[in-house]
Structure 1
Amino acid sequence: MKNVLPLPRKEPEEEKQAEQKAKIIKFPEIQVTETAEPGSSKRPRVKITTHYLYYRDKKIPISRFEKAGYGKLLRLLVKEIS
């Protein structure tokens, strides 16, 4: 006598697809608000003169950067930031 194994039951295609669908979550809307004081104009964040670098209301001598060999890099950075 042969051993008879029951065949696996096939589920309808619609049920499989319904189970596999991912739940869609909406991305929250983001609003960016700029909080600028009325009447104030935007000042440049970085300013470079012949002897000093002005950054965040600090006066930094440029000679520090030039002695270390970063004079050209400093000027390029100031140009990009401004």
Structure 2
Amino acid sequence: MPGGLHAPIEQWLAWPGPNYINPPTKPKYVLIVACILGPICLSTFLARLWVRLRIQKNPGWDDFLMLLAWLSKFTTSTDMSGMFL
């Protein structure tokens, strides 16, 4: 089906308009997931970094990429969790 899935115009017209005055609230799933998976991610990252730096004494480019990935995960989850507080 080229062009993707499109709803018929009758269905579009039946949808309610946007509610900017009193929008529905969303549960704090992002905050809960960030609080659970954040420390797990940090501890595994630090364990891997400790093994690569102290035991093997051979850090690689993948360790640097993991550091960048963890930093982006931390900033993203912090920003998104702040929306739900």
Tell me the TM-score normalised to structure 2 length: 0.34
Tell me the TM-score normalised to structure 1 length: 0.35
| Rg (Cα) greater in structure | 1
Q: Give the helix-richer structure, 1 or 2.
A: 2
